[in-house]
Amino acid sequence: MAGVTTPAIVAVPLPRPPALVLRGQRFDAARPAVMAIVNRTRDSFWAGNRHAVLDDAMAALHAAVREGADIVDVGGVRAGQESEHVDAAAEIDGVLPFLEAARAAYPDLVLSLDTWRSEVARAADGLLDLVNDTWAGHDPELVGVAADLGAGVVVSHTGGLPPRTDPVQVRYADAQGNDELAVVRDVVTVLARGARVAVQAGVPPERVLIDPTLDFGKTTRHSLVTLRHTADVAALGHPVLQALSRKDFVGETLDLEADERLEGTLAATAVAAWLGTAVFRAHDVRATRRVVDMVASIRGDRPPARAVRGEPTDR
């Protein structure tokens, strides 16, 4: 129509942090990784992931692989406040038999250990590809052990809290007393410092994952604003991990218990994927796999598995 100006079409700038490379595999925006969770505990916050019996843990592993897991993260201690004390020896007894059996069953699978203790990681020498330090370097020797083992490391943010501590009266504030963005600044600062420490310890940059660690050392409002600023985390130049699955910030936002948090988790997952996250720690592997692959295709990083709708057909 005369006099109508066609608006300019501008490509949407999207974060594209570098790839994570573990066990000869590359995970990035085109191939996001799903990290399945296998907890060797009786007190995991979600009853659906309590696998204290080794046979149950292996059944969970087999199911996760069938459903599309790229990485499996095993933990021997509940992250939150203690309902039972687990010392390092007991933690090793819980995770080591699983890692040995998992490596025998799946030689090419990326295996991760969720621990803050260097002696536990050391005991898994030869079995690990990644050390998931969810307590932000509480044991300063852990990152060096990861480097010695040739493993990657997850750098996390916990607001300075020690292991197994739930947040109480958490505050982040700038000079004006505002905490809306102060928490994001703290997350970015701590993760940048932790990544530098890991690289200086000998972990290759492509094996350093950074995790803003929602819920840990954060209120629900802190977690929501941090999630909205995932692109700022991705801008640090390391692959980003998000552990969103069924967490309290989802439950409090929607007023739901852990069993009812899948949809909220997947909504958060889609936002995190759009904003540059490459690795997703998840209880619900199949649903997460489908969400992150779909977002990767919407972003233009991953081609559709097939694209025949509306195409010409041979006659």
pLDDT tens digits, one per residue of 155-209 = 999 988 889 788 888 889 876 777 789 999 999 999 999 999 999 999 999 999 9
The stretch 125-154 carries a mean pLDDT of: 96
Around 243, how many Cα atoms within 13 Å sit in the side-chain half-sphere? 23
Sequence ranges of the domains in the chain: 26-299
User: Rounded to an integer, what distance in angstroms lies between the CA atom of residue 71 and that of residue 139?
Assistant: 24
Query: Phi and psi (nearest 5°) for 101?
Result: -70, -40
* pLDDT of 314 higher than 60: yes
Confidence of residue 215 (pLDDT cuts 50, 70, 90): very high
In this structure, the strands spanning 20-22 and 25-27 are: antiparallel
Buried b or exposed e, range 49-58, using 16+ CB within 10 angstroms: bbbeeeeebb
Predicted structure pTM score: 0.92
In this structure, the strands spanning 71-75 and 33-39 are: parallel
3-state secondary structure at position 193: helix
Burial of 261 (0-12, 13-18, 19+ CB in 10 A): buried
Q: What percent of the chain has pLDDT over 70?
A: 93
User: Rounded to an integer, what distance in angstroms lies between the CA atom of residue 58 and that of residue 41?
Assistant: 14
Q: Which ranges of the chain would DSSP assign to H, the alpha helix?
A: 54-66, 88-105, 118-123, 142-149, 182-201, 220-228, 230-234, 248-254, 262-274, 285-299
- The residue type found at 11 is A
- Report the CATH fold assignment for 26-299: TIM Barrel (3.20.20)
The stretch 52-74 carries a mean pLDDT of: 94
